[in-house]
Structure 1
Amino acid sequence: MNLVQEKTTAGRPRLGERIMTVLNRDPRTAPHGTRNDAILAAVLAAVAVCVALSTDPARRPDALGWTLLLAAHVPLVWRRRRPLLVLAAGVVLLMPYHAMDNNHGASTPATVVALYTVAVTGRPLRTILTGITVLAIAFTVMLTVSTHQAVELLRISGWVIAVLFFGVDVRYYRQYVAGIVERAERAERTREEEARRRVAEERLRIARDLHDLLAHTITLIGVRTSVAAHVLAADPERLDRETIAKALEEIAETCRTARGELRTTLEVLRAAEHGEGRGPLPGLDGLPDLVEAARLAGARVEQSVRVRQAPPAVGAAAYRIVQEALTNAVRHAGPEPAVQVELYERDGALRLSVTDDGTGPIPGDTPGFGLVGMRERARSVGGTLDAGPRAQGGFEVSAVLPLTTAVEGTR
């Protein structure tokens, strides 16, 4: 039983928190506003009756006075929706009440609430003009009753000014709190958008990695499988077992390599989930393996690498671009294409080109994501990439990857 009570108490806002919520909230947006104001009007009417009855019997209201006093509390039910109209209705009803020299203190609580509502819901200029108007009307009415009463009203008019200034202060305080809340919400939305952007970038990166890995591997397996199938179909009576065995061994080796790279990629993803970083990236030192794999697939590849050092991000981007370009050459450039891979450094940038003398993509081939992925790789390190047919035949992929910007960005 005690545990249930503790849970209920823990889940229920404390009294101080509820009070601060009421103070910070705009009264026009508060829930159950009309109901609460109806209760407030009834309580203030009861207080007014008690104050009027506690005075000298000669100053107690008559039937008309009671009617005016109680009727002045009715508009308070709608004070949040029409504060100025409610105040005007109260003034109209209470001026005759005061003119008959009834108990003047009985209507004070209702007047204070009406004035406070106008101040807390309106602009300061409107509040000042309203206060001046109310005081002018009250002073005029009191002059008709008694000069002494009019002077007394001027003496105690400070409370009207105090109420108005208090309402203005509360309004500014609520605007200040609302500004803090709005800034906090805006910051939270910014954080959420940043988180979604990072998730999208990470998904794109994973898609690029898997595309580069699987497309390259599947292409090599397809080429070597075609070689084995050609040998089997060329002369079934005289099987070249050595060539078939070599092709199958190369397929198995490619599968083992792909399995290792896929395992590494998955390990990097799992490490990233636990905040352990992305792990080592492929770099320029892996280019010879790409060239050798393309040669085994039948391409005649020549390479020229004249780059001393590159940041990890630039090296990884260059590796993936060359990988995809070689994959496209093996797939689309025809049998035994001549491919030239060249990397060099000039003007603070790594420049690479992969050219072939093949026929290019076959018309009707389904376009893939290779070129899109290569351009995204280049843009990820602030570089550019161009790809297209050459005038003298074949296809060329060229990229410029800045080294200085990438180094500064990794500090």
Structure 2
Amino acid sequence: MQQPQPSAHTPAPPPPPRPRLGERVLTAVSRDPLTVPHRQRNDVLIAVGTGVLSLLLALFIKEGPQPDALGWALLAAGIVPLAWRRSRPIPVLLAVLACVAPYHALDNTHFAPVPGSLLALYTVASTARPLHTMLIGTGVIGLVLTVMFRVNAHEGLESLRTSGWIIAVLVVGVDVRVYRRYIASVVGRAERAERTREEEAARRVVEERLRIARDLHDLLAHSITLIGVQTSVASHVLTVDPDRLDRAAIAKALDDIADTCRTARGELRTTLDVLRADGSDTGGPLPDLAALPDLVRAAHADLDVRTGRARIAPAVGAAAYRIVQESLTNAVRHGGPGVRVRVAVEAAERHLHVTVTDDGTASGATVGSGYGIVGMRERARSVGGTLSAGPREGGGFEVAAALPLQHSEALA
């Protein structure tokens, strides 16, 4: 049945809801004032708005005479520096005070420069350290009281009464600074956590690639080596004495090759399933100690397993299987003709001991020539175990691994 095609006039999904006013205000407050976009343009607009407000206060508030020409010049000069208040907060405050102090001393309308002065104070309090804010606030209050008491006692007392507004602005500025630092620390922790998760994911990807590389190496190297040995057996039977053809030996060698191919195909399919999976599935059962007899029998080796009732973690059993598999591959490949191999697996109190020995003549000469020994050490280390490999006294080669019975005991 054909699936219906989407209509060409399907309406677009609605846009996300716009943040509410309170959320937009909190977002604006929590931003770092030195990194917000368009801060210079915004400061210019705020300075213009503050200048308009100061003009209206000077024209319509009848507290003292209106400014004369010098007063208007000082009032305007105290507003202009606010355009750079966030980039240079302390110099801007000093420039504002340098204009506002003589403005008040001339007994002009005292309310007019208040918005610009409080804005400069707030900017310093929200950007400087609290100690600096306290010192600056003390100096500003002292300067204001000194100037106003010189004008007349009434203005000085009025300024003393209203100095609480200066303190309130400083407290609000400090509180905003603390809030911004808190938000920055939360965002920083979230970013660090995200980087940690990304690094952990990358590390897991690398570990998974190494594990798959080891699986493919162990699988293909072992299977190809056995197929080569079994093919050599069939070729030997065919060429040594053609007149007395041993059909049974040839058939057995070919059957062994077919069995090895089937086993390799099954394990290769399992590995490819792991590659296609999303990480939540292992892609099939892991090889374990129960599969050792067939593995050892195919290599014509001797096997001695003594595990008793020990509980062996699946990952440990799989590691032991792969170590034996790679050891058998090396023994068959490098041990020379007629090599005899013995595999011993024994469970001790807390460890599973795996030993593979052979009496070959060439094994010791091939140490470090490929990835086999390195892969076996990585497998042992992946479950918290250790592995040693090297020539034996008197000839031959030995691989010995000690793996913890439970993967939870792994070191790392």
* Fold match by TM threshold 0.5: yes
Give the structure 1 partner of residue 29 of structure 2: 23
Aligned to 2:386: 384
Matched, 1:150 2:156: yes
Q: 1:365 to 1:347 in 2, by over 3 A?
A: closer
1:24-62 C-alpha deviation (Å, 9 max, x unpaired):
111111111111101111111111111111134971111
- 1:282 pairs with one of 274, 278, 287: 287
After TM superposition, give the deviation of residue 12 of structure 1 in Å. 5.4
CA distance in 1, matches of 2:10, 2:102: 59
Over the residues paired in the alignment, what is the CA RMSD in angstroms?
2.4
Partner amino acid, structure 2, of 1:302: D
CA distance in 2, matches of 1:176, 1:263: 53
User: Which residue identity does 1:107 align to in structure 2?
Assistant: P
| CA deviation after TM superposition for structure 1 residue 304, in Å | 1.3
Pair 1:2–1:131, CA change in 2 (3 A): farther
> Which sections of structure 2, spanning at least 5 residues, go unmatched?
1-8
Cα pair distance change 1:124/1:57, threshold 3 Å: closer
1:155-304 counterparts in 2 under 5 A? 155-234=161-240, 240-270=246-276, 272-273=277-278, 275-295=280-300, 301-304=301-304
Cα distance in structure 2, aligned partners of 1:34 and 1:2: 44
Aligned partner (choices 360, 363, 374) of residue 362 of structure 2: 360
Moved more, 183-192 or 282-291: 183-192
Report the Cα distance in structure 2 between the residues aligned to 1:228 and 1:184, rounded to whole angstroms.
65
Please list, as runs of the form range in 1=range in 2, the aligned pairs for 1:307-322 lying within 5 A after superposition: 307-308=307-308, 309=310, 310-322=312-324
1:37 aligns with 2:43: yes
Sequence identity percentage: 60
Q: In 2, Cα distance between the equivalents of 1:134 and 1:372?
A: 73
1:347 to 346, 349, 352: 349
Q: Deviations over 1:249-273 (max 9, x none)?
A: 3222211121122223334554x52
- The SS at the match of 1:103 is coil
Partner-residue secondary structure (3-state), 1:29 = coil
Seen in structure 2, the aligned counterparts of structure 1 residues 189 and 156 have a Cα distance that, compared at 3 Å, is: same
Question: Does the 8 A contact of 1:360 with 1:389 survive in 2?
Answer: no
Aligned partners of 1:231 and 1:122: how far apart in 2? 92
The 3-state SS of whatever aligns with 1:216 is helix
Cα offsets for 1:232-286 (capped at 9, x unmatched): 444567655544443333222211121122223334554x527344542211111
CA distance in 1 between counterparts of 2:217 and 2:291 reads: 18
* In 1, Cα distance between equivalents of 2:219 and 2:189: 44
Alignment of 1:136 with 2:152, yes or no, is no
Q: Give aligned pairs, total.
A: 400
The TM-score with structure 1 as length reference comes to: 0.90
Q: Provide the residue aligned with 2:377 in structure 1.
A: 375
Cα distance in 1 for partners of 2:218, 2:295 equals 12
* Alpha carbons 2:92, 2:120 under 8 Å: kept: yes
Letter in 2 for 1:349: H
Contact 2:137–2:166 under 8 Å retained in 1: yes
SS in structure 2 opposite 1:87?
A: helix
